[in-house]
Structure 1
Amino acid sequence: MSQTVSLSLFRFDRTRDRLWAFAMMGFARALLPRTPDIGFWKLCGSGTGEGFTPVPNFGVYAILATWPDHDTARERIASAPIFQRYRNRAAEDWTVFLSPTSVKGEWAGVEPFVTNDTPQAGPLAALTRATVKPSIAAQFWKRVPDISSVIGQDENVAFKIGIGEMPLLHQVTFSIWPDARRMANFARTGHHADAIRAVRENDWFREELYARFAVKSDYGTWNGASPLASLDMP
């Protein structure tokens, strides 16, 4: 068996459902650990637009979780009561299933992902998670709109979103690419490369995690379609 990571996104349109989802940022912390086979998990909100802003978007929330294998992950996402409750309230939901291929760093002091040593080809996802030092939060967020604009214009990115556990101080970026080469081309150039240099030179983060995943499958839709539809899936 190899670890599978799921990222589930839920969009809530009605005010009463948005209020419910906001409240669940607290209440779901007691419910998620009761889900059979779940390992590491995190509840996240999102930013406005595509998520890459410090201004909260009260209509989109995410649950990231780890599972012992792909079949178990799909079964639990489909049938576990907590995920069913989210889907019943959401106007739309989408889950992508991932296999970790490389990981560096920690998330809240934990190494959450177990890599699969088998070489993977085809579409891949990139996830970065950082705890921003409060003293430089303003400098960090000045960089983000430029990066968001560039990634939004890149025809190679199949999906992208910014989420986080706490506005301003915790930031998670997630993106899906057709292959490693095209992802690397984006990461090494332009505003993104400038931001990486600034992070290293100025020691902006208290904690960092960088992970890459093979994209295995998905469940549901986002903006009316599967974000994986344009990719050459194995």
Structure 2
Amino acid sequence: MQIVSLSFFRFASPLARFWALGMMGVARLSMPRIAGIGFWKLCGSGTGEGFTPLPNTAVYAILATWPDLGTAQRQTGTASLFRRYRSRACESWTLFLSPISARGEWSGASPFVPQKDDSTGPIAALTRATIKPRRALRFWARVPDISQVIGADPNVLFKIGIGELPLLHQITFSIWPDTETMAHFARHDGPHARAIRAVRDGAWFREELYARFRITAEAGQWDGVSPRILTDIKETAA
């Protein structure tokens, strides 16, 4: 059963941030050598709510696919590259995700293998797009309104904007309490819905992918909470 790991790393000092920036290039040599790894991507992040073109030099992410949960947990915990990232970071957090739906492509591939899903509870959404250069300014003009709406939504448990290349290769990742609240946000006739219509009408993207996941496990801490999402869900349910 395929598992997707999404690891976030926060770097505090200027030297650590400079190291992380350099690893966006250097780590490409090491990633394919990690045993069991499939599809992978190295990503930076955005400032503010995360959905902005301005880079956040403190936060970086690694996304990877694995054949099963045991391999994912073992390699993200012990592989040399992941240990190097954690040794430089002031905090790190890894989510282990089970794909339940996916459509579209990422770098010409279909990286996620959806599984049958009969469960309920928290759901993660990932949207990835390659923006056509001539449409980039129009796309980013929409983003501040979308970011503000997401930030004000009391239902969203976690949100971040990451990407492989500033301005053109963008990923949004968010976690919601359940499918219904996520769908309500997507359907609501606000900045997000209007942006989606504009994207469709104007063909702004060269490539796009939409995926949904169940959260299988997590490790580490983020914003001083460990673990964050599963703890929040349990407290809400209680």
**1:120 match:** 119
**1:206 match:** 206
**1:215 match:** 215
Identity of aligned residues (%): 61
Structure 1 CA distance, aligned partners of 2:154 and 2:122? 14
Cα distance, 1:38–1:84 mapped onto 2, change above 3 Å = same
SS class of match (2:75):
helix
Mapped contact 1:40–1:112 kept (Cα < 8 A): yes
Pairing of 1:80-229 with structure 2 (within 5 A): 80-189=79-188, 190-225=190-225, 226-228=227-229, 229=231
Cα distance, 1:232–1:180 mapped onto 2, change above 3 Å = farther
Structure 1 CA distance, aligned partners of 2:98 and 2:119? 9
Q: Any idea what the Cα deviations from partners look like across 1:19-74, whole Å, max 9, x if unmatched?
A: 10000000000011111101000000011123211111111100000000112111
**1:58 match:** 57
RMSD: 1.3
Structure 2 CA distance, aligned partners of 1:137 and 1:62? 23
Mapped contact 1:100–1:211 kept (Cα < 8 A): yes
Structure 1, unaligned stretches of length 5 or more?
none
Structure 2, unaligned stretches of length 5 or more?
none
**1:18 match:** 17
Structure 2 CA distance, aligned partners of 1:193 and 1:71? 38
**2:232 match:** 230
Structure 2 CA distance, aligned partners of 1:28 and 1:157? 32
Mapped contact 1:178–1:232 kept (Cα < 8 A): no
Q: Match for 2:77: what amino acid? A: A
Offset at 1:232?
Answer: 4.0
- Number of residue pairs the alignment of both structures matches: 233
Offset at 1:217?
Answer: 1.3
Offset at 1:154?
Answer: 0.8
Please list every run of at least 4 consecutive aligned residues from structure 1 whose deviation after the TM superposition is greater than 6 angstroms: none
Q: Match for 1:227: what amino acid? A: R
Structure 2 CA distance, aligned partners of 1:188 and 1:137? 24
State the TM-score, normalized to the length of structure 1.
Answer: 0.97
Structure 1 CA distance, aligned partners of 2:191 and 2:64? 30
Offset at 1:216?
Answer: 1.0
SS class of match (1:187):
helix
Structure 2 CA distance, aligned partners of 1:187 and 1:132? 20
SS class of match (2:171):
strand
Mapped contact 1:100–1:113 kept (Cα < 8 A): yes
Q: Any idea what the Cα deviations from partners look like across 1:65-84, whole Å, max 9, x if unmatched?
A: 00001121111111111000
Structure 1 CA distance, aligned partners of 2:223 and 2:69? 25
